[in-house]
Amino acid sequence: MENFSFEDMSKIKRDSLGHNVPLELFRSIRLIGMYQGLPLNGKGTTSVVGKKIGENLSVNSMDELFDVFERLKIGIPSVVKQDESGFTVAIEDCFCEGLPQLEGKYVCDLEGAIMQGALSKLYNKTVRVREVKCNINGDERCEYEIKM
Ligand SMILES: [Zn+2]
């Protein structure tokens, strides 16, 4: 075996502690480790890491991608706007929901990069994803603009 695949990640054999880790751990890695710990809030890293994960999801449609987001408990995505240039996707119950508000901060870029990687592979072209709303910024929910 040369590399791990996304499928490998679900091969779990942990008798006492099981499949799940607390959201606090995921948030700590994302926000304390990456957002606060890396230069430029980890922008370059989250972009590379997210795209790589997205490409490995091997989904066959946007619906399948949304199902994966919900199953992995990243959040519950839905298309709230669609036009010739692309889509706006809202995420309900995002992993960041409930954290203290920090105006001007948008912290869910890794999750956008996952979408970007998955959709670029799915449509076989460069898809751009930008976080335009975030609970942390005080918005009513997290939202992404997807340009096809
Ligand atoms: Zn969020």
Nearest to 128 by CA among 142, 109, 113, 141: 113
Q: How far is the CA of 32 from the centre of ligand 1 (A)?
A: 15
Q: Does residue 140 belong to any structural domain of this protein? A: yes
The type of residue at 122 is L
In a domain, 6, yes or no: no
Dump pLDDT digits (tens) for 40-65.
Answer: 999 999 999 999 999 999 899 999 99
The answer to the question of residue 13 being in a domain is no
For residue 1, the model assigns a pLDDT of 66
**Ligand 1 mean position to 40 CA, how many Å?**
18
Q: What is the CATH number of the domain that holds 112?
A: 3.30.1380.20
Number of domains in the chain: 1
30: left (phi over 0), alpha (psi -120 to 50) or beta: alpha
In a domain, 71, yes or no: yes
Which residue range(s) make up the domain with 96? 21-147
Measured in Å, residue 104 CA sits from the centre of ligand 1 at: 13
Low-confidence ranges of the chain (pLDDT < 50): none
Tell whether 35 is covered by a domain. Answer: yes
The answer to whether residue 12 sits within a structural domain is: no
Residue 122 lies in a domain: yes
Supply the pLDDT for residue 2.
Answer: 86
Q: Is residue 124 part of a domain?
A: yes
Backbone angles phi, psi at 136, to 5 degrees: -60, -35
Which tokens belong to 52?
């790589």
Dump pLDDT digits (tens) for 115-130: 999 999 999 999 999 9
